[in-house]
């Protein structure tokens, strides 16, 4: 995986195992784990908001959020003006989220993809640059 990035990561109970494995795969990066710290039932906004705040403030380069479907964490994170959180369930979506939408948080649907695919998605997401150009005009219109 990419090295030298500052990454905020969080998950609810459905994403706990994937989060732990992604943290291991992110060796060489500065990773802050915002929880949850077990597979006991937990509410996804409790982890999505701190990750989003960390990315929005510039303390972290990127965020990774994991829940069962990816929807709950994405909805929570996208409430923050500086956040563009994208649910990605394949490599092409991860690449496009970065290259076309300048997404800064990737949301992984743990109940719908394998951990191997989740690792590939995160790798592509973290290593893809924003293309800018015509996409920059569109991205600049996202915030309310």
**Is there a catalytic annotation at residue 100?**
yes
Out of 67, 80, 88, 107, the active site residue is: 67
Out of 13, 49, 100, 135, the active site residue is: 100
**Is there a catalytic annotation at residue 107?**
no
In DSSP notation, the chain reads ---S-EEEEEE-GGGHHHHHHHHHHTTTSEEEE----SSS---THHHHHHHHHHHHTTS-SEEEEEESSSHHHHHHHTTSTT--EEE-SSHHHHHHHHHTT---EEEEETTTS-HHHHHHHHHHHHHPPP--THHHHHHTTT--
- Which residues are the active-site residues? 67, 100
């Amino acid at each position: 995986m990419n090295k030298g990035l500052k990454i905020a990561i969080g998950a609810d109970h459905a994403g706990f195992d994937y989060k732990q494995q992604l943290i291991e795969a992110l060796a060489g990066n500065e990773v802050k784990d915002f929880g949850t710290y077990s597979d006991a039932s937990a509410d996804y906004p409790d982890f999505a908001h701190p990750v989003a705040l960390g990315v929005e403030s510039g303390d972290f380069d990127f965020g990774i959020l994991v829940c069962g479907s990816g929807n709950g964490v994405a909805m929570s994170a996208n409430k923050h003006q500086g956040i563009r959180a994208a649910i990605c369930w394949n490599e092409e979506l991860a690449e496009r989220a970065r290259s076309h939408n300048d997404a800064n948080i990737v949301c992984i649907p743990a109940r719908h993809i394998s951990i191997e695919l989740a690792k590939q998605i995160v790798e592509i997401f973290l290593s893809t640059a924003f293309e800018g150009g015509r996409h920059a005009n569109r991205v600049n219109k996202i915030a309310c």
